[in-house]
Structure 1
Amino acid sequence: MSNSRKRHEALLYHAKPKPGKIAVIPTKKYATQHDLTLAYSPGVAEPCLEIEKDRNNVYKYTSKGNLVAVISNGTAVLGLGDIGPEASKPVMEGKGLLFKIFADIDVFDIEVDATDVDKFIETVKAISPTFGGINLEDIKAPEAFEIERRLKEELDIPVMHDDQHGTAIISAAALKNAIEITNKDISKVKIVVNGAGAAAISCTRLYLELGVERKNVIMCDSKGVIRKKRTNLTSQKAEFATDLEIDTLEEAMHDADVFIGLSKGNIVTPEMLLSMANDPIVFAMANPVPEIDYDLAIKTRKDIIMATGRSDHPNQVNNVLGFPFIFRGALDVRATIINEEMKMAAVHALADLAKKSVPEQVNIVYDEVSLSFGREYIIPKPFDPRLIYEIPPAIAKAAIESGVALQPISDWEAYREELMERSGSGSKEIRILHNRAKNNPKKLVFAEADHLDVLKAAQRVYDEKIAKPILLGRKEVILELMEEIGFDADLLIIDPKTDEETERRDRFGEVYWKNRQRKGRTLTEAKKLMRERNYFAAMMVNVGEADALITGYSRPYPSVVRPILELIEKDKGITKIAASNLMITKQGPLFLADTTININPSAKDLVKISQMTANFVKMFGMKPNMAMVSFSNFGSSNSETSKKINEAIGYLHRHFPDTVIDGELQADFALNPEMLAKEFPFSKLNGKKVNVLIFPNLESANITYKLLKEVNEAESIGPVILGLSKPVHILQLGASVDEMVNMAALAVVDAQEKEKRNK
């Protein structure tokens, strides 16, 4: 992607469909006059009076307890430097988004026009009654140290400067595990820290808490080794000044056990790496370019344990492993401070989590056979679903034990259950799907690439490394559109109707004819059909010239599905195909089937649809909990619909007792566990969150998914065809660019799965 187009896309993302990345959403009813009299005057006076009586009631009647301020003055924004408060706002909004999607914490971002320490502190203190916690961000050192110190002392809510402590906590957890793997003594390891800003100082202080000896630490800044004889050192740098007679990073690296990089890219050479002790631990955390390239480092030293700040290498030191969950735990016990005990609890909890058996969902996301504790897995992955219910309890317990919790927790199991429900809004399943596709991109045919939106989707798929696009359509139109949108990539572009594709059309036609010659097709007809892009594209997948296909943007579904069903065989053991939609709802992911194929499936069909949908759910590393839904509950009606559902459920219960499915059920009973448990305690779905709805006919399924999409603004992936032997997927007519990108990611993951199965 060219720099100009990256810039354009980033600006467009932040500007459309409305400016910014976060918004305020009402949490109470407001439709009627009665609602409004409760929300504001006169009803609002009652909680005001209760809070006046007891200030702690503010946590009972307002959002304070789940509201964090992300505050900056814009003096040290990412790698951009002192760009000012207004220019820092996109970053602060982004931090707010991460708080929400990973830990369900609400955020107001606050940009303060104050570089003077006293003025900044005064401003934050003045607005602090609004918030349950303060996350300081992108404030330059040394002012950041003084600001955080004083705010922690003068406020009675948690305050943390994430730039300092986030990296410190995550890297300390990684360091603890790396030292354990190398069988070294933490009190004896020699550590070189390159960089002396807020993050480096805080990292080193936390390493000392972990057991590192101060005398074994050498810190370097842009001028070289920080020595006691140097003048004009800040108090923070002076804290780590050494008596050793060395001046350069190269000298410091000799015989070092650990290198911690919080500086800039490509300043560590292979020679420096070779001079380190056996089993060197190297955390090159400059981003996006590490202090030494990952591949170069592991090529130079086979015994190295390497971590970076990048997501495309093992052992990513990512602050998102820390701050959302630290604040979650602190807020949930109303901690008055984030103290050293809580930070160290986060270190140990993260380190311990990396040693536990990894859920299959995480292996799937990162395309690993089985992640396990070792040199390439010393800290958890950011998409590990256990973070939300493992880290906050550790923080909460540390707060309680250190005496800073105003609302202690007694029922820890209930608390863990509550945390599990905080799955994090923001399409986690889509992020997981994209991440998984990127691990092993496949050749993906876009059969309608001469349409602008389809080409935009292909562009995003290419730029984000989700797939390797193959573009079908009128070549001159595609090239013009690529120039128009700045899509500069050397991709295979094919127009099936041109003379230059005659050989391929003839070859594809012969393959097709051999399969269809006893079904009314002649060889001439078969070759002629290959001029049609959907036939041509499907044959590319059939013969292995492409791995997957998406199509259907510009034509009605029935006309697109027909050639697909003619060319692509059913999977082994499949007698009838079906389709499912994944809906990303506010209550979590919900799979609906059959949404496009079978108009009135029989009981036997419903069994097959359920089994195929269950396998589809498992592609996401999730356990399918399925309800067959209707207008009645468990035989309360003698309708044909009820009878066929009961027949299908009976068959599944008898022959597949481990399958979690039940019905027939009305949709509200299926999705409301309290209602289900109260009225139908015998159901196999009790105690489980239903994530799959199997419908009795196409009409009900199709209407439901389109209603969810339009009225509830649920994101949709699908309809996904289930039961084909090749990864071919059909879009809805006029699908959005986002929907096409998501479908592309799913097609790639489908291709990955089929490739594994066929090995």
Structure 2
Amino acid sequence: MTDSENKAHLDADLNRQALDFHALPRPGKIGTEVTKPAETQRDLSLAYTPGVAEPVRQIHADPDLAYRYTNKGNLVAVITDGTAVLGLGNVGGLAGKPVMEGKAVLFKRFADIDCFDIEVDAESPQAFIETVARIAPTFGGINLEDIAAPHCFEIEQALVEQLDIPVFHDDQHGTAIIIAAGLLNALELQGKTLAEARIVVLGAGAAGIAGVRLLLALGAHPDNIFCVDRQGIIHSGRQDLNTYKRGVAVETEKRTLADAMDGADVFIGVSGPDLVSPEMLASMAPRPIVFALSNPVPEIRPAVALSVRDDLVMATGRSDYPNQINNVLGFPFIFRGALDVRASCINQAMQIAAVEALRTLTREPVPAEVLEAYGLKELSFGPDYIIPKPFDPRLRERVPAAVARAAIDSGVARLQTNL
């Protein structure tokens, strides 16, 4: 059997297992649970009529009491229009439902947050915005998911302005936060600084533009970041740029990805497979950093990259290579921190707090249970460990606390807890 035939066989087997996993013994991946007794007539009279009338009256008089008498404070909506589902594109909301259910699993598994997945059939961004705004009172937070750029920017901004609960587009900010945490550590290992690093970002969708914005907030120099889309470098002379791409345009004579890569310190790929050639990688500055995050096939494959450069630090979006840039390191814990203090939003200060918490945790000794979970004998801060592992139990303690503190300090928290 050839390598390609073996891969096809393994893919087919995985697909069969995935379908069985989703279908058996009960369709789907999530359900609901009853959190109060429902065994006696008295239980039912308290859970429903007539007992339920009193919390209704209390909430009517003071809407904040919904956090006391209902599940609102620990309930997040995972909402999509299905226009950018994984690498599958615009498959529609219903086809995106398995992904939304999966997101709900991660919220519950890592941060004990309850979720409803909601798939919206919306004919326009405005229709989507109106739908979400109308159902928002049910929830303590809104996680927007798999919404295509540029509409995702418009949708998130409108909902942030209209709602008084956290609205977070994970494909934008979750990815940006994990990239930033790993990159700051990688820069230190390579003896470089964010302020001076020349950075190439391939892909100018949700993750790419949000990543640039966060890196600028952390101290990157705007003249040193080159964003590249299908037409080449996003420069100020282009006439085909939307509002969001204009915000990351630079003045430069460079035009192509190869031009941008020449002498670059950092490459961040959030685009597609095999778009970076060995020659491009070879042209980068000494001690380069390569985040090839296209999944499942990176912009340049680790085996190729390591054969060209032995002085690089590399990350991918895959779990079978070191340094996986995985959003599960972020969104469950960011929402946990925001919900714990009833934050009205997830602002930039809270995002930066998450970056710093992840960055700092990587430098501490790794617990034995993490080594066991990943079948490792040792693991320490270095080229193959620039970001924590998803099953690190310390994430549940550190990241929410940092996010909650930032919410309090920036004035968007309703609760002032002792952190």
The runs of 5 or more residues in structure 2 that have no matched partner are 1-8
Alignment equivalent of 1:350, drawn from 358, 363, 374: 358
In structure 1, the residue matched to 2:403 is: 395
Q: Alignment partner for residue 172 of structure 2, among 161, 164, 168?
A: 164
Question: In the alignment, which residue of structure 2 is the partner of 1:500?
Answer: none
Q: Distance in 2 between matches of 1:92 and 1:35?
A: 33
Distance 2:212 2:250 in 1: 14
Residue deviations 1:206-245 (CA, integer Å, cap 9, x gap): 0111110000011111122122222221111112222211
SS in 1 for 2:227: strand
SS in 1 for 2:358: helix
TM-score (norm 1): 0.53
CA contact (8 A) 1:336 1:406 kept: yes
Query: After superposition, what is the alpha-carbon deviation per residue over 1:66-98, rounded to whole angstroms, capped at 9, x for unaligned?
Result: 000000011111111111111111111110011
- Mapped pair 1:177 → 2:185: yes
Please tell me whether residue 24 in structure 1 is matched to residue 32 in structure 2. yes
Give 1:245-324 correspondences, 5 Å limit.
245-324=253-332
- Per-residue Cα deviation, 1:24-49 (whole angstroms, up to 9, x for no partner): 11011001111101100001111111
Is the 8 Å Cα contact of residues 66 and 132 (structure 1) preserved in structure 2? yes
Alignment partner, residue 208 of structure 2:
200
Distance, in Å, in 2 between the alignment partners of 1:160 and 1:336 is 11
Specify the code of the residue in structure 2 equivalent to 1:298.
L
Q: What does residue 232 of structure 1 align with?
A: 240
Q: How many residues align?
A: 411
Q: Secondary structure at the match of 1:377?
A: coil
Q: Write the distance in 2 (CA, Å) between the matches of 1:118 and 1:266.
A: 36
Structure 1: which 5+ residue stretches go unaligned?
Answer: 413-759
Counterpart CA distance in 2 for 1:259 and 1:162 is 21
Q: Deviations over 1:522-566 (max 9, x none)?
A: xxxxxxxxxxxxxxxxxxxxxxxxxxxxxxxxxxxxxxxxxxxxx
Matches within 5 A, 1:689-708: none
Tell me what 2:142 maps to.
134
Q: Which amino acid aligns with 1:226?
A: I
Give the match for residue 154 of structure 1.
Answer: 162
Partner Cα distance (2:25, 2:375) in 1: 34
Q: Which residue of 2 aligns with 1:385?
A: 393
How much has 1:4 moved relative to structure 2? Answer: 4.3
Question: What is the aligned-residue RMSD (CA, Å)?
Answer: 1.1
- Could you say which residue in structure 1 is the equivalent of 2:415? 407
Q: CA deviation at 1:115?
A: 3.6
Other-structure match for 2:151: 143
Once the 2 structures are TM-superposed, how far is the Cα of residue 365 of structure 1 from its aligned partner? 2.2
Quote the offset at 1:185 in angstroms. 2.5
CA distance in 1, matches of 2:41, 2:116: 28
**Match of 1:138, as an amino acid?**
D
Q: 2 CA distance for matches of 1:81 and 1:122?
A: 23
> What corresponds to 1:562 in structure 2?
none
Cα–Cα, structure 1 residues 3 and 184, in superposed 2: closer, same or farther, change >3 Å? Answer: closer
* TM-score where L is the length of structure 2: 0.96
Which of 84, 91, 99 matches 2:99? Answer: 91
Question: Which amino acid counterpart does residue 112 of structure 1 have in structure 2?
Answer: V
Q: Which residue of the partner structure matches residue 219 of structure 2?
A: 211
Residue identity opposite 2:274 in structure 1: N
Give the distance between the partners of 1:176 and 1:75, measured in 2 at CA: 32
Larger RCO: Structure 1 or Structure 2 (Cα < 8 Å, ≥ 6 residues apart)? 2
Distance 1:296 1:119 in 2: 45
Q: Secondary structure at the match of 1:77?
A: coil
Report the Cα offset of residue 340 of structure 1: 0.3
Q: Which amino acid aligns with 1:165?
A: H
Q: Distance in 1 between matches of 2:62 and 2:231?
A: 55
Letter in 2 for 1:339: N
Q: Within 5 A, what are the aligned runs for 1:326-341?
A: 326-341=334-349
Paired with 1:178 and 1:109, the residues of 2 have a C-alpha distance of 35
Larger Rg computed on CA atoms: 1
Contact 1:75 1:115 (8 Å CA) reproduced: no
Deviation at 1:293, TM superposition (A): 0.7
1:360-379 matched pairs, under 5 angstroms: 360-379=368-387
Q: Secondary structure at the match of 2:67?
A: helix
Q: Distance in 2 between matches of 1:173 and 1:276?
A: 22
Q: CA deviation at 1:5?
A: 4.1
SS of 2:362's partner is helix
The separation in 2 between residues aligned to 1:7 and 1:389, in whole angstroms, is 35
Q: Choose from 82, 103, 117 the match for 1:109.
A: 117
- 1:235-270: per-residue Cα shift (whole Å, max 9, x none)? 111122222112211111000000000011111122
- Residue 150 of structure 1 and its aligned partner are, at CA, apart by 1.0
Cα distance, 1:183 vs structure 2: 1.8
List per-residue Cα deviations over 1:436-487 (Å, max 9, x = no partner): xxxxxxxxxxxxxxxxxxxxxxxxxxxxxxxxxxxxxxxxxxxxxxxxxxxx
Alignment check: 8 A CA contact 1:333 1:408 kept: yes
1:408 maps to amino acid: Q
Deviations 1:595-653 (A, max 9, x none): xxxxxxxxxxxxxxxxxxxxxxxxxxxxxxxxxxxxxxxxxxxxxxxxxxxxxxxxxxx
Q: Is the 8 A contact 1:284 1:308 kept in 2?
A: yes
Cα drift, residue 3 of structure 1: 4.4
Instruction: Tell me if the contact between 1:193 and 1:218 (Cα under 8 Å) persists in the aligned partners.
Output: yes
Letter in 2 for 1:208: L
The answer on whether the counterparts of 1:73 and 1:115 sit within 8 Å (CA) in structure 2 is: no
Partner of 1:118: 126
